[in-house]
Every structure is written in structure tokens, then in C-alpha cells.
Chain A
Amino acid sequence: MSKKSKRLLAQAVQEYLPPALLIALFLAVWQCATWLWRIEAYLLPSPWRIVQAGVQARGLLSEHVQQTLRETLLGFAAALVSGLILALAIDLSSFLRRALYPLLVVTQTVPIMAIAPLLVIWLGYTIWPKIIVVALVCFFPIVVTTADGLRSADPELLALLQAMGASRRQVFLKVRVPGALPAVFSGIKIAITYSVIGAIIGEWVGASKGLGVFMLRASNSFRTDWVFVAIAISSLLSILLFLAVAVIERLALPWYYTSARAERWEEMSA
């Protein structure tokens, strides 16, 4: 093994070992507790039993997972498009900013659990209510971070471009948009972690397929182990989606990460 890959491995161990240990310890305590106190499986199944249940139900699960993933991705896409458009509108006109901002906050104060059944009444047992619930949950962080990112451009930089004879459009495209991208990605990361939960809530109020439906059915028939399987899978989906965004961010903003590295380097040598 080369020196460099050794160092990377050591870094990875240093970074991931503590959380891995903690999770392992947690699972071990859980496993032992269910043995020691002979907790009934319908109350709290042991981790091992949950794994077994997952393997057992895997044929059944795949269509539910696919459905939930589809709703999540479509809802998230809708949130991304609408969020970016709203952020642009807010940025372009101070009238729209004043008009829209309070409304956007209001959308976040309405309980989703109350809206979701209404959406089912209006749109039926289709995929649309789920997409809308996901979009409602996801668009807000995207709008806020994008609008703030566009607004936070360095005024001296804007003045420089203006002094060089740049048009408003050039200033927007060459300075404000690239400068806002790190903030946009922060919003996307927050949004994507909520998206799967949004889809599951949408399914609870009325659906025939999806992880939410699977969860409800399992819980109604006291298959607590299957409820935990569904929980584990939805967490895993969220984590994978988050990681995908993080990878895209790294590829899209290489400058952002090189500058972060350079700063860290300075800190250590100081």
C-alpha cells in the first residue's frame, strides 16, 4: 500500500470508526435487552429478527420501495423546479419578495397531516397527492437558501463587474448565480432528507402501494418487525439520496472544496 492510500485509510478510519462503534454498541444493547427481558417481538423485535424479517419480505417489498422512490424523486424534482423559480422571482423584484415571503412561511405552518387527506379528496388515490406532499415539504428550504444565496453576493464584486461594463444579466450569470450555488446545495441537502418522509406521509392517507402502506399494514397486523424493516429502508433511502446529492455537489463545485481544503491546510500549519 502506498503512503498516500495508507493515509487516506487512516483518515477514513478516524472519521467513520466512532459512529460505527456507537451504532454497533446501540444494536448490541438492543439485542441483549430483548433477550434478557424476553421482550415480545410484537412490542420490540430484536435487530437480528428485523434483519430476518427483511430478508423474508424482500419479494414483497421491492414494489413498495419502487413506488415510494418514484414519488420521492418526482416530488423532489417538482420542489426543485418550483423552488428555484420562486427564488428567482423573489430575487428579481422586491415587490414579489415582500408579497411571497410571508406566504411561503405560511405554507410551512400548515400541518401536512391536515392537507394530505384534502389532496386525496381532490385528486383521488393517484400519485399526485404524494408528489404534492413531497414538494410541499421540500421546496421551502430550496427557496430560502437560493434567495439568500443570490442576495449575499459581495457588493464590491458586483461593483467591479459593473465598472468593467458588464450588463445586469452578465453580473447575474457570472457572479450571483455561481456564488449562490453552495447555498442552493445546502437547501437541496436539507430538502432531500425530508423528501422520503413526505412520500410516506402522503401514502398513509390513501394509497395502495408504497413503504407507507406497507408500514400501516404491518402495524395493523402487529408485525412490528416489518414496521422496523420499513423504517430501516426509508432511512436508508434518505441516506442514499443525501449521499447522491453530496457527490453531485462535489462534482459541480470543485472550487468550493479545494478552497475548503486550502483553509484547513492553513489552520494546521499555523
Chain B
Amino acid sequence: MNDAPTCKVEIRDVYKAYRVDGQPTEVLAGVSLCAAAGTFVTIIGPSGCGKSTLFSIICGLQQPDRGEILFDGVPVRQRLGAVGYMPQRDLLLPWRRVLDNVILGPEIHGEDIAVAKREARDLLPLFGLEGFGDSYPAALSGGMRQRAALLRTFLCRKDILLLDEPFGALDAITRNGLQEWLLEVWQRFRYTILFITHDVEEAVFLSDKVYVLSARPAQVRREVRITLPRPRQRAMTLTAEFAAFKQQLLEALQDSPHSQVSTT
């Protein structure tokens, strides 16, 4: 299978620089990537390489200095509210009960709150939050808060989701459980997911395609298709095939920071 002609999300040659203490600092230096509809695409790179900047550009909080963002093949400049965005921290509103937190998207778009709540309540069990709809976020564990934030992102009902290291702050056991769970939920809704991580194993386990970014200024150093069959099983992480994918990603990450984009 070669690159699908239609990308659900396409980032075309995006540049972004910031001024840090008067010094212009280039963060993104011509990043291009493509996620076909319904695929799980992961972006991996050294920390501080500009992955989160890329996300805040895609969701419209910032504009690129050069380059463009295309949804369904069409360049979109006004992107606020167009994708479901989940930042690293769960950012649940502490004064809202879980159920009121997760319907924030529909509420902002002026939809019927009672309907949204009913729908959210039906989804609580799938998100492992059954019985916690009326709790305040402070009463939840880290994993539950993250699932609540994810439910909030899902309920925005955008067919593109940007997940910025959603499991980064969790312990390994909780993280493994949530990865499997996320795949299950994704298989059900079939959204297009862009996922940021700096965990190689997580990237291989979850994705259809992984983009490896270089250190800042970020460029795409390698694009790796993960051809492991779905549904993914945890046992696959022990296979030679899985290890080979990990090896590829690690090599791409460990190339000298200023080397050019590798051509496989």
C-alpha cells in the first residue's frame, strides 16, 4: 500500500520560529506529514523538539510562519474548534463534576446539554468512569482523570483527534492498560488520531505510521509504517517483528542531531 492520495490531515512544509530573549529560534523547519482517514499516526521525537508546537499549530492556536495545514485536502486557516485536542495535562475544570467536564465541547457549541449528558453518561462505562460521573476531578486517580479528559476530547465529536502525550505522566502498568483501551475505543469510533509520545514502544504498539522528528529545529527524519496486524495484542511486543520496528525508530532517534532526513 503506498501513500493514500487523500490525507485526512496534511501538514505541508510548516516552518515556525520564536523569539527567545531577542534571539530568533527556529522550532519547526519544514515539517510535512500526512494522516489518512481513520489511521493512527504517531509523532515521536526528542523532548523539546517542537512536537507540541506542531499540535498547537494544527489545532489553530498558532499560525505557521510558512506552510499550510490541510483537512480533507483543503487548506484551512481558521482551525479553532475544528479538531479534538487533548493537551499533556488533563486540564479538567476542578469546579465541575466529571459529567459536566466531559460535555464541555457540546456545551461550547451550544448543543442541548441534557442530550449531551445522557450520551456522556452512556459512555462512562467504556471509559472506565462508571459511578464517577458526579465526582469532582480531585477525587479521581491520574489514570481516571486522563480517561475523563479523553472522553471530553471524544465528545467534541471531531473526526480528527490530537493527543499530546496523554499517558506520559502515568506509571507503566496504568499506561499499558490505557494503550490497549485506547485502541479498543478507537477501533469503535475510527477517528483519525495524531498522537505524540517519546516512548518508542508505545509508538509501535499503537500506530499505523510513525514520524520520527529530529531535535530542534524539527524536521521529519524518518517515516515508518507499522505493518503489525490489528487488533494489536500485548504479546506482540515480544515478537522479533515488533523489536525490529522499535530498532528502526531508535536508530532514527539516535542519528546525529544535525543529520539530514534519512531516505530509507
Q: Contact mask A230-266 → B, CB, 8 Å, 1/0?
A: 0000000000000000000000011110110011000
Closest to B62 in A: A159
B217 interfacial by beta-carbon distance below 8 Å: no
A179 interfacial by beta-carbon distance below 8 Å: yes
Known A156-B89, A255-B94, A259-B94; contact A164-B156, beta-carbon cutoff 8 A: yes
Closest to A170 in B: B108
Q: Contact mask B62-95 → A, CB, 8 Å, 1/0?
A: 0000000000000000001111010101010111
Q: Contact mask A203-220 → B, CB, 8 Å, 1/0?
A: 000000000000000000
A160, B136: Cβ atoms closer than 8 Å: no
Closest to A177 in B: B95
B94, A163: Cβ atoms closer than 8 Å: no
CB contacts (< 8 Å) of A157 on chain B: these are 91, 93
In Å, the complex CA distance between A256 and B139 comes to 11
B105, A259: Cβ atoms closer than 8 Å: no
Known A156-B87, A160-B85; contact A253-B95, beta-carbon cutoff 8 A: yes
A259, B136: Cβ atoms closer than 8 Å: yes
Known A159-B56, A160-B85, A258-B139; contact A178-B93, beta-carbon cutoff 8 A: yes
A17 interfacial by beta-carbon distance below 8 Å: no
A-B contacts, CB under 8 A, total: 66
B244 interfacial by beta-carbon distance below 8 Å: no
CB contacts (< 8 Å) of B60 on chain A: these are 163
**Chain A: how many interface residues by the 8 Å CB criterion?**
25
B91, A164: Cβ atoms closer than 8 Å: no
**CB under 8 Å from chain A, chain B span 130-146:** 136, 138-139
In Å, the complex CA distance between A166 and B91 comes to 15
Closest to A167 in B: B108
Cβ-defined partner of B105 (8 Å) among A164, A253, A254, A263: A164
A262, B80: Cβ atoms closer than 8 Å: no
A175 interfacial by beta-carbon distance below 8 Å: yes
In Å, the complex CA distance between A262 and B95 comes to 14
Most interface-central of A165, A256, A258, A262 (chain B CB within 10 A): A165
Main secondary structure of the interface of B (DSSP, over half): loop
Cβ-defined partner of A256 (8 Å) among B81, B91, B95, B104: B95
CB contacts (< 8 Å) of B95 on chain A: these are 178-179, 181, 253, 255-256
CB contacts (< 8 Å) of A253 on chain B: these are 95
Known A165-B81, A170-B108, A175-B93; contact A159-B61, beta-carbon cutoff 8 A: yes
In Å, the complex CA distance between A102 and B239 comes to 69
Q: Nearest chain B CB to A222's CB is how many angstroms away?
A: 55
CB contacts (< 8 Å) of A178 on chain B: these are 93, 95
B59 interfacial by beta-carbon distance below 8 Å: yes
A56 interfacial by beta-carbon distance below 8 Å: no
Known A255-B95, A256-B95, A259-B94; contact A164-B81, beta-carbon cutoff 8 A: yes
In Å, the complex CA distance between A181 and B93 comes to 13
Known A258-B136, A262-B139; contact A162-B94, beta-carbon cutoff 8 A: no
CB contacts (< 8 Å) of A175 on chain B: these are 93
Q: Contact mask A161-193 → B, CB, 8 Å, 1/0?
A: 111111000100011001101000000000000
B109 interfacial by beta-carbon distance below 8 Å: yes
B108, A165: Cβ atoms closer than 8 Å: yes
A164, B108: Cβ atoms closer than 8 Å: yes
**CB under 8 Å from chain A, chain B span 16-64:** 56, 59-61
Q: Nearest chain A CB to B12's CB is how many angstroms away?
A: 21
In Å, the complex CA distance between A178 and B87 comes to 21
Q: Contact mask A124-168 → B, CB, 8 Å, 1/0?
A: 000000000000000000000000000000101101111111100
In Å, the complex CA distance between A258 and B95 comes to 10
10 contacts between A and B (CB under 8 A): A160-B87, A163-B59, A163-B60, A164-B108, A165-B108, A178-B93, A181-B95, A254-B136, A255-B138, A256-B94
- Closest 8 A-B residue pairs measured CB to CB? A165-B81, A259-B138, A163-B59, A255-B95, A163-B85, A262-B138, A178-B95, A166-B108
